[in-house]
Structure 1
Amino acid sequence: MRRIRRIRLAGLGLALAGLLATAGCNSAAKSTSSGSDGSGKVTIGVGGQVLLSYLPTTLAAQLGYYKEEGLNVELQDLQAGSKALQAMIGGSTNVTSGFYEHTIQMQQKRQEIKSFVTMLKLPGVVLAVSPKNASSIGSLKDLKGKVVGVTAPGSSTDFFLKYALSKSGMAAGDVSVTAIGAGSTAVAAMEEGKVAAAVMLDPAVSQLEKRAGKLKTLYDLRTVAGVESVYGTGSYPAAVLYAKSAWLQNNPETARKLTRALTRTLEWIAAHDGTEIAAKMPASYAGGDTALYARAIEHAKPMFTADGKMPQDGPAAVLETQRTSNPEMKGADVDLAKTYTDEFIG
C-alpha cells in the first residue's frame, strides 16, 4: 500500500509539474515576480529614501494612498540610484524610484526600461565645496587631483560630476571619485574634509549648512535659473518611477494604480507647506531638526511636477548630458519614445 501511495503521489507531482510548465509556456510574456496584476504586491527600490528627490515615493505610503489604490507596496531603501537600478534588473524589486537618465543608459545596453511617473522636473543636485577647502577652491578646475564625493559610482550624482568636468574642459580622471552616501555620511565626509567637494542633495545640503555655515557652491541645480545655466533648458527630469517595459506591459492596472497614488501625492504636496509635509514623513528623516527639514522641503517644492507628466523638452536634455558624460553613450542610437510614457496618467 505504501508503495502504491508513493507511486500515486509521484504521478500527481509529475502531473502538477506538467500543468505548471504548460501554464508557464502559455504566459511566457507575463511577469512571474510579485507585482503582477491581481496580487497587489509591489516592491519599489528607492535610490535613497531620506533624499527629498524621492520624498513623494515615501509620502504616498505615509498618506495611505498605495493602500487606497488596493496595493501592498514594500519600499526598499537602497541608498543610491545605481543600486536601486541593479536590484530591479536582478529581479529583487519590480519598480525603481530613481533618476530618469537610467532609462536612457539601459536602452543602450539593450534593456528596455521605461519611466511612467515624473516626480522631479529639476535635479536638485548641488556641487558644494567642503568647508575645510573653501579658501582654496574657487572653481571646478581647482578640484584637479582632489577627492570628490558622490552618492555612489554610477549614480546620477556621479554622472553629473562627469558632465560638469567635461563642460569645463576637464577629464573624468582629473578627480578621484569616492562614495559618501546620501545622508549623514555625506554630511560627515564634507564637514570633516574627507572630500574636497561633493555632489549632494537635500536635506543633506541644508543640514551641512546649518552645522558649517553657508557653503561655497560651484553648481546649484535646485532652481530653474541654475538648471538653465547648465543645460540651457528650464526643466530637467530627475526623480521618476521606472520599470522594465515588459513589466509595465504585463501589469498595466498595477502601474495605473501606482501612478494615481503618486499623482495624488504630488497634488497634496502642492497644496501643503513644508511644515505640514514634514509632519507626515518619518521623524528620522529630519536628522534631529524638524524645523530645518520643513524649510528644506518648502524650498524643494518648486522642483516637483504638478501632475507626474514628463516635461516636453526634458528627455532630449538628459540624453545630451549622457552623451557628454558617459563614454558608453557616445554615438549610441537611443529612441527616447521608448524611455518614458504618460499613458497611465489621468
Structure 2
Amino acid sequence: MNKRRAVLWLALAVLLSAALSGCGGSEGKMQKVKVGEVARSVFYAPQYVAYEKGFFKEEGLDVELQTTPGGDKAMTALLSGAVDVALIGAETSIYVYQQGSEDPVINFAQLTQTDGTFLVAREDPGTFDWDKLKGSVFLGQRKGGMPQMAGEFTLRKHDIDPQKDLKLIQNIDFANIASAFASGTGQYVQLFEPQASIFEREGKGHVVASFGTESGRLPYTVFMTKNSYMKDHREIVQKFTNAIYKAQRWVQEHSPEETAETISPFFKDTDKDILTSAVKRYLEQGTYAEQPTLAPDAWNNLLDVMEGAGELKERVAPEKLVNNDFAETAVNSVK
C-alpha cells in the first residue's frame, strides 16, 4: 500500500513539474513584433502606456520599438520588412496605394484622431486672429505630410491661401523644425507637444491655436502593416490591437499626471510638469482615440484634407485600406 502510494505521489510530482515547466516556458514563447514609430512624441502616449503597463506582455507579445523620423522613412522601413508594424499617418498608406502596390498597407488600429500640432507665435499676439498670419513668415511641416496638409486645410478654412498670403517655409526636416524656429526662423511655427509647452516655458513662443481643434477628426496616426503580414500573422495583429485598446482605456480613465508619470521613461529629458501639460492639452481636445476603430467619416475628412493639398489622385474607399475587424474584436472582447 505504501509502495503504491509512493508511486502515486511520484506520478503527481512529475505531472506538477511538467505543468510548472509549461508555465515557465510561456515566457520563452513570446511572439516578437518590431514596431516603427514616425516620431517620439507625447502625441503617442497610449502606445507608451501599453509598454509600461505590460499590456503587450499580457498578450504574449515581445514588442521592439524603434523611432524612424519622417513618414517616408517609417513607411520605407515597413515596406522593406525592417519593421512589422508602423505607427504613421494614414495618408502614407494612400500614397503607397496610389503607386499601385501589389502588397498594400492596411490600417488596423487608430491611435490619434486629431492633428497633434499647435500654432506657436514668436511674439505674444494678445487677442489672436488668424488674419494676423497674412504677410507673415510661417514655418510649416514637410510637404505631403499630415501636419502640413492639416495646417494648410486650417489656413484655407480661415480664408488664408498658404501659397499666396504668407511666406511658407517647408523645406526643413521634421527633427529640425523646432530648433530652426528657436534660432530665429519664422514668425509662426507648427509644433507638436511637448515642444510647444517647452517653448512657452522658455519664453520662445506662445501657443495661440490648435490645428487639432480646427481640422476636425482625422485618422491622424494609425498602426498599419502590409496586407501579406496581416494575412500570415492575424493572431499577432489581434493581440497587438488588444494591448493598444487596453492602453487607450487606461489613458481615458487616469489623470494627466498619472499618464505623464507612466510614460516618463520614454521622455527622460523632459520635466514631468511639461509632460503633464502636454497630455492634458491632448486629452482636452480629444486627440487620443478612445478605441482603435477607424471611423468612415474621419477617413473621408482625411481625403478632403489631402484633396485640398493636391496630394490625392483618387478618392480611396476606406474598405480598400482599412480593416476594422481587429479593432472591433478588441472592443467587444477586452474586459
After superposition, the Cα gap between the structure-2 partners of 1:275 and 1:165, relative to the gap in structure 1 and judged at 3 Å, is: closer
Check whether the contact 2:153–2:308 (CA below 8 A) recurs between aligned residues: yes
Distance of 2:321 and 2:167 partners within structure 1: 32
Check whether the contact 2:303–2:315 (CA below 8 A) recurs between aligned residues: no
Distance of 1:241 and 1:215 partners within structure 2: 32
What is the match of residue 46 of structure 1? Answer: 37
Check whether the contact 1:187–1:207 (CA below 8 A) recurs between aligned residues: no
Structure 2: which amino acid aligns with 1:194?
T
Structure 2: which amino acid aligns with 1:316?
N
Post-superposition, which runs of at least 4 consecutive aligned residues in structure 1 deviate over 4 A? Answer: 132-135, 164-167
Distance of 2:289 and 2:138 partners within structure 1: 34
What is the match of residue 298 of structure 2? Answer: 314
What is the match of residue 229 of structure 2? Answer: 247
After superposition, the Cα gap between the structure-2 partners of 1:121 and 1:333, relative to the gap in structure 1 and judged at 3 Å, is: closer
What is the match of residue 171 of structure 2? Answer: 178
Structure 1: which amino acid aligns with 2:221?
A
Check whether the contact 2:241–2:326 (CA below 8 A) recurs between aligned residues: yes
**Deviation per residue, 1:239-292 (Å, 9 max, x gap):** 211111222122111100110010000011111111111111134616442112
Distance of 1:139 and 1:89 partners within structure 2: 42
Please, which of 99, 105, 111 is the counterpart of residue 113 of structure 1? 105
Check whether the contact 2:121–2:205 (CA below 8 A) recurs between aligned residues: no
What is the match of residue 139 of structure 1? Answer: 132
Check whether the contact 1:131–1:193 (CA below 8 A) recurs between aligned residues: no
Check whether the contact 1:62–1:280 (CA below 8 A) recurs between aligned residues: yes
Q: Which runs of 5+ in 1 are unaligned?
A: 1-37
Identity of aligned residues (%): 21
**Deviation per residue, 1:179-219 (Å, 9 max, x gap):** 3535xx544332331333322111111111111176153x5
Distance of 1:248 and 1:326 partners within structure 2: 30
Check whether the contact 1:159–1:326 (CA below 8 A) recurs between aligned residues: no
After superposition, the Cα gap between the structure-2 partners of 1:341 and 1:140, relative to the gap in structure 1 and judged at 3 Å, is: farther
Check whether the contact 1:131–1:212 (CA below 8 A) recurs between aligned residues: no
Q: Kindly state the Cα deviation for residue 312 of structure 1 after the two structures are TM-superposed.
A: 3.7
Q: Kindly state the Cα deviation for residue 162 of structure 1 after the two structures are TM-superposed.
A: 4.3
What is the match of residue 273 of structure 1? Answer: 255
After superposition, the Cα gap between the structure-2 partners of 1:202 and 1:261, relative to the gap in structure 1 and judged at 3 Å, is: same
Check whether the contact 1:117–1:241 (CA below 8 A) recurs between aligned residues: yes
Distance of 1:109 and 1:174 partners within structure 2: 31
Distance of 2:262 and 2:232 partners within structure 1: 33
Check whether the contact 1:53–1:239 (CA below 8 A) recurs between aligned residues: no
Q: Kindly state the Cα deviation for residue 333 of structure 1 after the two structures are TM-superposed.
A: 4.6
Check whether the contact 1:147–1:178 (CA below 8 A) recurs between aligned residues: no
Map 1:87-166 onto structure 2 (within 5 A): 87-111=77-101, 112-131=104-123, 139-143=132-136, 146=137, 148-150=139-141, 152-164=142-154
What is the match of residue 257 of structure 1? Answer: 239
After superposition, the Cα gap between the structure-2 partners of 1:99 and 1:133, relative to the gap in structure 1 and judged at 3 Å, is: same
Query: Normalising by structure 2, what TM-score?
Result: 0.77
Q: Kindly state the Cα deviation for residue 133 of structure 1 after the two structures are TM-superposed.
A: 9.9
Q: Kindly state the Cα deviation for residue 72 of structure 1 after the two structures are TM-superposed.
A: 1.5
Q: Kindly state the Cα deviation for residue 147 of structure 1 after the two structures are TM-superposed.
A: 5.8
Q: Which runs of 5+ in 2 are unaligned?
A: 1-28, 331-335
Distance of 2:71 and 2:122 partners within structure 1: 23
Check whether the contact 1:121–1:238 (CA below 8 A) recurs between aligned residues: yes
Check whether the contact 1:236–1:318 (CA below 8 A) recurs between aligned residues: yes
Structure 1: which amino acid aligns with 2:171?
T
What is the match of residue 325 of structure 1? Answer: 309
Q: Kindly state the Cα deviation for residue 154 of structure 1 after the two structures are TM-superposed.
A: 4.2
Check whether the contact 1:82–1:153 (CA below 8 A) recurs between aligned residues: no
Distance of 1:270 and 1:340 partners within structure 2: 24
SS for the counterpart of 1:322 is helix
**Deviation per residue, 1:118-141 (Å, 9 max, x gap):** 111221222323349999x95343
Please, which of 219, 236, 240 is the counterpart of residue 237 of structure 1? 219
Structure 2: which amino acid aligns with 1:256?
Q
Check whether the contact 1:40–1:72 (CA below 8 A) recurs between aligned residues: yes
SS for the counterpart of 2:299 is helix
Distance of 1:76 and 1:133 partners within structure 2: 39
Distance of 1:91 and 1:258 partners within structure 2: 18
SS for the counterpart of 1:303 is coil
Q: Kindly state the Cα deviation for residue 157 of structure 1 after the two structures are TM-superposed.
A: 2.0
